[in-house]
Structure formats: structure tokens, C-alpha cells
Amino acid sequence: MRKTYKYRIYANREVLGKAGRWLLLCRRLYNVALEQRITIYRQDKSTISCYSQINQLPDLKAGFPEYREVGSQVLQGVIERLDRAYKAFFRRVRNGDGKVGFPRFKGRDRYDSFTLKQAGWRLDSKYLSIRNIGRFKLKLSRQIAGDIKTVTIRREATGKWYVCFSCDNVPARVLEKSNSSIGIDVGIKSFLVDSVGNKVDNPAYFRQSEKLLRRRQRRLCRRVKGSNGRRQARVLVAKAHEKVKNQRNDFLHKVANQYIAQYGVIFIEDLNINGMVRNHHLSKSIADSSWGKFFELLSYKAEEAGRVVTRIPRFEPSSKTCSDCGAVNKDLTLNDRQWVCQACGVLHDRDYNAAKNILQVGQTCQEVTYENAQSVS
């Protein structure tokens, strides 16, 4: 399996200055290559391929000697990135995805990373050296496994630098087999409720960090464009964003790890965007990104551990169906946190009941699949 490892990196002013210069050169190349594509299209309605743009890189180096110091693979990576932006654009146009933005020229703060492949870098236990840039210090808090395919150096809006190692052939760490399964309902009030009855709430510190973020965003809006104060305010906003993101990720990792450690099969209802909008306890942005990220983490950790995560297609009455007798209680509204089944009289907690339904539907689907497989063979 593939896996990406991310670490913070540190270096002296000179090294960071050079890395910043590579970012600048890469950004210029990106913009020039984009301009070339646009010009060629305007002139004779034809296109230039990624391949032929890459073939022009030696000419670029001849004409602009400052590009000689930048690794060839790094420059190729810039052209490939533009090509991906183009392909994504045309794919969205073909699919008719609403408003589709044409690939844009990158402004000063809009180009924040470059990528090396096999050559031009070396990693030992404490240092990452990049040819023609210098040495970065890093702490390998998690050991890297598998084969490193790409090395991406990134400067975030906070001014901090990071490296991402993207690895192939990372061995799975299979956990001891577990036959137990569980259903998870992404809650309206809580972060989630499972079919055993556990509730996981959003940590209170989410809201505090969010308040901080909003305060700083308001301050940024008040600052005059182009001023020094605005620049500082922007860094503070970026730092608050980073804090929110880190807290959120820590929380999500912890929750996902608990479920992966305990259960062999996990059923979740497919993402319910409307349900997330109803979550008044968090801003929409945090709630949305949390869900997406949680599903992503859970699936990826499951793959790594030899577990199964199955998404249950959204079934409308999940929260209105009695998990005891199966009767659908149509008159329920979103405000009914607890309700009594009209058919059998059992008292239900809304989310807990939904989680039990998800587990039941999941297990039924699995049996059907199993039977189909049997009848085929």
C-alpha cells in the first residue's frame, strides 16, 4: 500500500532562502508554461503536450542560467502539475460540473511546494540534504516504511516548512483477527454514536480554536490591502487554521484507531451532507471537513490493519425505523432526540437507534453478498 509521511523541517536562513528561491523559479516556470499553452491554443487552436513542454526544459536552462541549479525532476514536476490541472479542468468540463475554473496563473503566495523523485536528495537519521539547496534538520517521529517514491518540500502559510515522503510497498500491519462488527451513525449532536451505544462528542476545544480563528479573520479583513499589518494578520490566520487542523486530526486519528483496534467490520452510513449542515454545534467548514477526513482515515487505517469498512448506502428511514421491531415511525422530526416506537413501545435514543439500524442493514447486505458468491461458485 501507499503511505505519506509528513515531518516538520528546520534549516538556517541561507538554506530556507534557497528553497524559497526554488519555489519562486518553479512558480515562474508554471506561469510561463501555462502562458505557452494558452498562446498556442489562441494562435492555431492546437495544444502542446506535457511531453513536448518537458523536452523544452534544456532550452529554458540555456536561456535562463538560474534554472540550472534546480533539479531536472523538480522542473519536470512543475510541468506535470500544470498538466494535471489541465486534465482536471477538461474532465470537469466534460462532466458538466457547475462552474469550472480554467487553470490559473499562480500569484506570490499560491505556489508552495516542489517535488523531487529518486535523485537529488539524501536522508539519514537526522538530516535531509537536497542537492544545491543544503541540509534540513528533521525528527523522524514515525519511522518511514516502504520505498520512498517522491519527496515534497512545502512552505505553509504560517511560514513553517515541511517534507512529505510518499512511499510505495508499505507493509500492512495486520491486527489480530476480530469477528465483531459495529455500526456507526454520524450524529447530529455528537460526533458519532455507535451500535453499542457509545457516544463520541466533538471536543470542546474545537469551539475555542474556532472562535480564535474567527476573531483573527475579522482582524485581517480590517487591515488595509498590501500593508504590513495585513501580512502579519494573514500569518496569524494561517496559524489559527493550522491549530484547528491539528486538533481535528489528532481527535480523528484517536477515534478511528479505537474502532479499528476493536472491530473487524465497521459499517457506516454513506456521508449525509444535509445531516452535517444540521450540526449546529460546529461551523459547517469544520464539521464537513471532519466527516470527510474521518471516513478517509478509517478506510485507510482499515486497509492497513486488515479490517473492513463498508459504507451503507443512505437509506431514508434509518432514524425512523425501530431497530427492535422494524416498524417505520413516520411522524418523527429531527427534534425528537428520544422517541417511543408506536408499534412495540420501546423507547429509543435517536442516534443510537440509527447506529443499530446501520449495523443490521450492513450485516444483511454482507450475507446477501456471501450467498451470491456461494451460488456463483
Q: Which of 79, 252, 312, 322 binds Zn ion (CB under 5 A)?
A: 322
Cα(132)–Cα(157) distance, integer angstroms: 24
Q: How many whole angstroms from its chain centre is CA 173?
A: 22
Range in contact with Zn ion (rule: CB under 5 A) among 50-58, 86-94, 176-184, 324-332: 324-332
Q: What distance lies between CA 122 and its chain's CA centroid?
A: 27
Among residues 344, 367, 369, 370, the one that binds Zn ion under rule CB under 5 A: 344
**Residues near 99 by beta carbon (within 8 Å), at least 6 away in sequence:** none
The one segment of 206-214, 255-263, 267-275, 336-344 that binds Zn ion by CB under 5 A: 336-344
Does 325 contact Zn ion by CB under 5 A?
yes
Can you state the angle between helices 205-222 and 228-262, rounded to 10 degrees?
160
- Rounded distance between C-alpha atoms, residue 243 and residue 55, angstroms: 42
Distance CA 268, CA 191 (A): 13
227-246 binders of Zn ion (CB under 5 A): none
In 3D space, the residue among 121, 103, 111 whose CA is nearest the CA of residue 166 turns out to be 121
One of 341, 354, 358, 361 touching Zn ion (CB under 5 A) = 341
Q: Does residue 343 bind Zn ion (CB under 5 A)? A: yes
Which span sits near Zn ion by CB under 5 A: 3-11, 190-198, 307-315, 319-327? 319-327
Q: How far is the CB of 329 from Zn ion (least distance, A)?
A: 8
List CB contacts of 289: < 8 A, sequence separation 6 or more. 248
Total residues binding Zn ion (CB under 5 A): 7
Site for Zn ion in 144-163 (CB under 5 A): none
Q: Which is nearer to Zn ion, 40 or 344 (CB)?
A: 344
Site string for Zn ion, 244-283 (x = CB under 5 A): ----------------------------------------
Question: Is 353 within 8 Å of 361 (Cβ atoms)?
Answer: no
List of residues 6+ apart from 201 with CB closer than 8 A? 190, 191
The interface with Zn ion within residues 194-223 (CB under 5 A) comprises none
Question: Which residues of this chain interact with Zn ion, rule CB under 5 A?
Answer: 322, 324-325, 327, 341, 343-344
